[in-house]
């Protein structure tokens, strides 16, 4: 029996001791049929990028389907050479020794000694090395199952049937441009599932948003109907610890329906939806306002009143922006607010805002933070501000009775831009943005959006 399979078997047992695959074998065989896999031909799934969510996603698949080694292969790529500092190695050692199942697993695999040596400073661990043992550098406190890690990008993707993009949006284009070089000889077209939440702005030929799925499409030439987005209100570590969660996989019906069924687990419900780009953009938008929420929490000593005032203002701005981006924005209210809520509670963007406001992090440290990964909201602040400040998108300001750029009706977005991108103001400025000297009810902003023909399909690259 291979290391780690004891844990898998335990998860798949009824309380009466009868083994139960929860229909996993049937779901795997059904997806294989949809993809036209012959007997003896492995279904190859490749994760690209090993941040918290990318690693958890691969681990969920490995836990569920890894036992069917004759039918599916699950591997994950991450760049080699990322050293684990001694403080993290010491923390990792504490986590290992607090979990008897993990400790026994490492001893069986003859891997425990290297963690002892790393704690003592006698050797250096590397991120790809510990990932093989089930430790994600951005999520040390949550041990995963052992993963099959590949550090050569060409090796992991060249014949993959399904590629899962776990990269930050800021790295997606570059990596998939490299991947496209390895796919020039391919006969079959792969399916790509993107987990990335972030956007870029482009101003030509008209101002528009570029999402990770669009970046992948342009970099590789893979048709957009073969590229899907999966997202939802979830925290990676809690999903792996089997907290009940849900997500949506968005894209063409041909693939999203069978993939939703394949990915669904008793504790992780996956719905499917046709609205790819808009859900993707909403995933990036909530990160913007999560940073501000973290700042407000830190600056007011977690004042419930201040946080609720901020929530009223930020949700009104998000609703205002969705009316620009979506023809039927009311359909997005639930997913957007739930995703925003979980990010405010425990997401890395809210944490980053807190640390910046407390002075425990500085903007000069960049937006890739050790132990947390990429803070996607920073680049999203710049992208949304740049887009919504374009005069060609002007809307009528009821109070001033003149046309203004949409960003002029989004004071929190403007303030975050001045703090994070221009660095003209200190984090304390976010509190001033809440003290609306015009005495306008946040509801007024929503009414403005609802009573005007705001929808700008060009923003999402549509005619």
Q: Which two tokens stand for residue 266?
A: 């008793």
Residues 6+ apart with CB under 8 A from 181: none
Per residue in 43-93, pLDDT tens?
Answer: 999 999 999 999 999 999 999 999 999 999 999 999 999 999 999 999 999
Q: Distance between CA 415 and CA 405 in Å, rounded? A: 15
User: Residue 378 has what pLDDT?
Assistant: 94
∠ CA 159-280-255 to the nearest 5 degrees? 45
The class level of CATH for 21-81+148-274 reads: alpha beta
- Catalytic annotation present for 286: yes
Instruction: Work out the mean pLDDT of the chain and round it to a whole number.
Output: 89
| pLDDT score of 452 | 67
pLDDT at site 13: 38
Question: What confidence score (pLDDT) does residue 439 get?
Answer: 59
Q: Please report how many Cα atoms fall inside a 13 Å half-sphere around the Cα of residue 253, on the Cβ side.
A: 0
Tokens 């406001």 -> residue = 357
The residue with tokens 């958890």 is 56
Of 229, 261, 180, 282, the residue nearest 53 (C-alpha): 229
**How do the domains of the chain map onto residue ranges?**
21-81+148-274, 86-125, 277-460
Residue 21: per-residue pLDDT: 59
DSSP string covering 303-344? -HHHHHHHHHHHHHHHHHHHHHH-SSGGGGHHHHHHHHHHHH
Q: How many CB atoms lie within 10 A of CB 297?
A: 22
- Reduced to 3 states, what is the DSSP secondary structure of residue 396? strand
- The CA distance from 30 to 33, in Å, is 5
Closest CA to 115 of 138, 139, 137, 95: 95
Phi-psi region of 401 (alpha: psi -120 to 50; beta: other; left: phi over 0): left
Cα–Cα distance measured from residue 68 to residue 117, given in angstroms and rounded to the nearest whole number:
35
Q: For residue 5, what are its two tokens?
A: 């399979």
**Phi (first) and psi of residue 231, to 5 degrees:** -160, 165
Per DSSP, the three-state class of 45 is: strand
Q: Tokens standing for 208? A: 């528009």
Q: Where are the beta strands (DSSP E) in 114-256?
A: 125-126, 149-150, 162-165, 191-194, 200-202, 208-210, 227-231, 245-250
Q: Rounded to whole angstroms, how far apart are CA atoms 169 and 210?
A: 10
Q: 277-460 sits in which CATH class?
A: mainly alpha
Q: Is the peptide bond before 233 cis (omega within 30 degrees of 0)?
A: no
Instruction: Say how far apart CA 221 and CA 70 lie, in whole Å.
Output: 31
Given the residues 27, 37, 286, 418, select the one marked as catalytic: 286
CA 203, CA 89: separation in Å to the nearest integer? 45
| pLDDT of the chain, 463 residues: tens digit per residue | 333 443 443 444 333 333 445 689 999 999 999 999 999 899 999 999 999 999 999 999 999 999 999 999 999 999 999 999 999 999 999 999 999 999 999 999 999 999 999 999 999 999 999 999 999 999 999 999 999 999 999 999 999 999 999 999 999 999 999 999 999 989 999 999 999 988 899 988 888 999 999 999 999 999 999 999 999 888 999 999 999 999 999 999 999 999 999 999 999 999 999 988 888 888 889 999 999 999 999 999 999 999 999 998 998 899 888 888 887 777 777 777 888 888 888 889 999 999 999 999 999 998 888 878 889 899 999 999 999 999 888 887 766 678 888 998 899 999 999 999 999 999 999 999 888 665 577 777 777 777 766 778 888 877 5
Q: Which of 319, 322, 221, 342 is nearest to 277 (CA)?
A: 322
Question: Quick one: 261 exposed, middle or buried, by C-beta within 10 A (0-12, 13-18, 19+)?
Answer: middle
- Cα separation, 68 vs 321, in Å, equals 46
In whole angstroms, what is the distance from residue 81 CA to residue 350 CA?
29
- The pLDDT value recorded for residue 461 is 75
Distance CA 169, CA 200 (A): 8
pLDDT at 296: 96
């Amino acid at each position: 029996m291979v290391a780690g399979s004891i844990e898998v078997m335990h998860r798949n047992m009824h309380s009466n001791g009868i083994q139960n695959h929860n229909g996993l074998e049937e779901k795997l065989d059904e997806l294989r049929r949809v993809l036209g896999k012959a007997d003896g031909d492995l279904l190859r799934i490749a994760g690209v990028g090993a941040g918290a969510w990318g690693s958890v996603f691969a681990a969920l698949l490995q836990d569920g389907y890894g036992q069917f080694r004759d039918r599916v292969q699950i591997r994950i790529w991450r760049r080699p050479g990322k050293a684990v500092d001694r403080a993290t190695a010491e923390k990792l050692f504490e986590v290992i020794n607090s979990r008897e199942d993990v400790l026994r697993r490492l001893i069986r695999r003859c891997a425990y000694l290297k963690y002892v040596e790393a704690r003592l400073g006698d050797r250096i661990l590397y991120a790809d090395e510990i990932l093989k043992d089930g430790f994600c550098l951005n999520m040390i406190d949550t041990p995963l199952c052992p993963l099959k890690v590949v550090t050569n990008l060409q090796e992991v993707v060249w014949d993959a049937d399904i590629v899962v993009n776990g990269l930050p949006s800021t790295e997606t284009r570059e990596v998939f441009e490299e991947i496209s070089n390895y796919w020039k000889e391919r006969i079959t077209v792969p399916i790509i599932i993107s987990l990335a939440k972030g956007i870029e702005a482009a101003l030509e030929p008209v101002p528009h948003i570029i999402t990770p799925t669009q970046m992948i499409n342009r970099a590789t030439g893979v048709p957009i109907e073969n590229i899907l987005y999966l997202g939802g209100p979830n925290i990676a570590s809690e999903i792996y610890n089997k907290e009940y969660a849900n997500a949506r996989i968005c894209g063409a019906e041909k693939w999203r329906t069978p993939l939703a069924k394949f990915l669904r687990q008793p504790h992780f419900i996956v719905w499917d939806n046709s609205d790819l780009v808009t859900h993707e953009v909403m995933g990036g938008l909530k990160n913007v306002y999560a940073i501000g929420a973290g700042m407000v929490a830190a600056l007011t000593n977690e004042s419930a009143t201040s946080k609720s005032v901020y929530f009223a203002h930020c949700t009104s701005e998000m609703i205002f922006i969705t009316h620009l981006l979506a023809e039927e924005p009311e359909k997005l209210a639930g997913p957007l607010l739930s995703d925003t809520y979980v990010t405010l509670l425990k997401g890395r963007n809210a944490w980053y805002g807190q640390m910046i406001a407390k002075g425990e992090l500085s903007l000069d440290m960049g937006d890739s933070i050790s132990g947390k990964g990429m803070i996607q909201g920073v680049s999203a602040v710049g992208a949304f501000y740049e887009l919504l400040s374009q005069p060609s998108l002007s809307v009528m300001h009821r109070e001033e009775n003149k046309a203004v750029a949409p960003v002029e009706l989004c004071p929190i977005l403007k303030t975050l831009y001045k703090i994070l991108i221009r660095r003209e103001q200190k984090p304390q400025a976010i509190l001033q943005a809440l003290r609306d000297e015009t005495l306008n009810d946040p509801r007024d902003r929503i009414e403005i959006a609802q009573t005007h023909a705001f929808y700008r399909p060009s923003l999402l690259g549509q005619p």
